[in-house]
Structure 1
Amino acid sequence: MRTRAWWSRSIRRDEGSAAVEAAIILPLLIMFLCLALAGGRIVTSGAKIDSAAEDAAREASIHRTAASAQSAAQAAAAESLDDQGIKCASTNVSIGTGGLSVPVGQVATVTATVTCTVNLSDLLLPGVPGARTLTSTATSVVDQYRQRGD
C-alpha cells in the first residue's frame, strides 16, 4: 500500500510537465513552419522571376529598336509576373540592347535583368526581414538576318 501511495504522488507531480513541454516546443515548431514557408516563397518566386526575365529578353530580341525593345520587355516582364501571381513591392526591368546595333549577319544578343522585391512580412515571423530582393538575368539571341533599326 505504501508503494502505491508513493506512485500516485509521483504521477501527480508529472501532470503539469506536458503543458510546460508544449509551451516550449510549440513556438519553436511555429517558427520552423514560418521559416519553411519563407524559404518556399523565396525559391518559387525566384523561379518565376527567372521566367519573367526570359520572357523579357525574348520579347526585346524580336524588336528592331532599343526604345521599342525596352518598352516591350518591361510589358512582357510585368505580364509574366502578373500571370504567375507574383506581387512585387517594387520591380525594375533593365535591358541591354547593344545586340540590336550589331550589323545584320552577325550573331548578337539582348540581355534582360528583372529585379523584384518579394514581401515576406505577412508571414509574421519575428526577425525575418519584411522583404527580399531577387534578381534574375536572361539572354536571348537576336536573329542575325533580321533588319535592325537605328
Structure 2
Amino acid sequence: MSRTVGDRLAEDRGSEAVQAAIITPLLIMFLCLALAGGRMVISGSKIDAAAEDAAREASLARSAAAAQEAAQSAAEESLSDQGVACASTSVAVDTSGLNAPLGQAGSVTVTVRCTVELADLLLPVPGSRTLESTFTSVVDQYRQREGA
C-alpha cells in the first residue's frame, strides 16, 4: 500500500515544536555569552584608557605620594566618566622613575584592576571577571622632582 504525502506530513506534526524547544535555549545561551563577551571587550578598552590617564597624571607629579594620589584620582575619574561600574578597583603605581636624577629619563607604571560584574546583565551569566591594564608614562627628565 502506498502512502500519500499528506499521510507522511501528518506523522511529523509537533516536530517543529520539539525542534524549537531544543534550539531556543541554545540561542538564548549564545546571546547571553555574546553580551557577556561584549561587556568584557568594552570594559577592557575603558580600563586601558583609565590606566593611560592614571599613568600620565602620575608622571606629572613631583613626589611618589603625590603620584599615587594623582593616579588613584585619575583612574577613578576616568572609569566614572566612561560609565564603568567596577565592583572593586585597585590602582598600583610604580614610582621608581621619580627617583631618577635630573637629566636621566624615568618612567611611572600604573596598573589598574577592575572587577566587572556579569550578574547585572539580567541574563543567566553568573559571577564576575577581574580585568587588568598596565600603562607606562615617561617622566620628563628635566623636570624638578622631590629630593632631586
Q: TM-score, normalised by structure 1?
A: 0.92
Note the residue ranges of structure 2 that are not aligned, 5 or more in a row: none
Give the 4+ runs in structure 1 shifted more than 6 A. none
Q: What pairs up with 1:1-150 in 2 under 5 angstroms?
A: 6-123=4-121, 124-125=123-124, 128-150=125-147
Deviation track 1:43-102 (CA, whole Å, cap 9, x = no partner) reads: 111111111000000000001011111011101000111111100000000100011111
Tell me the CA shift for residue 145 of structure 1: 0.4
Q: TM-score, normalised by structure 2?
A: 0.93
Tell me the CA shift for residue 103 of structure 1: 0.7
Question: How well do the aligned residues superpose, as a CA RMSD in angstroms?
Answer: 1.5
Q: How many residues align?
A: 146
Output the CA distance in 2 between the equivalents of 1:9 and 1:30: 35
Note the residue ranges of structure 1 that are not aligned, 5 or more in a row: none
Output the CA distance in 1 between the equivalents of 2:85 and 2:61: 27
Output the CA distance in 2 between the equivalents of 1:129 and 1:120: 6
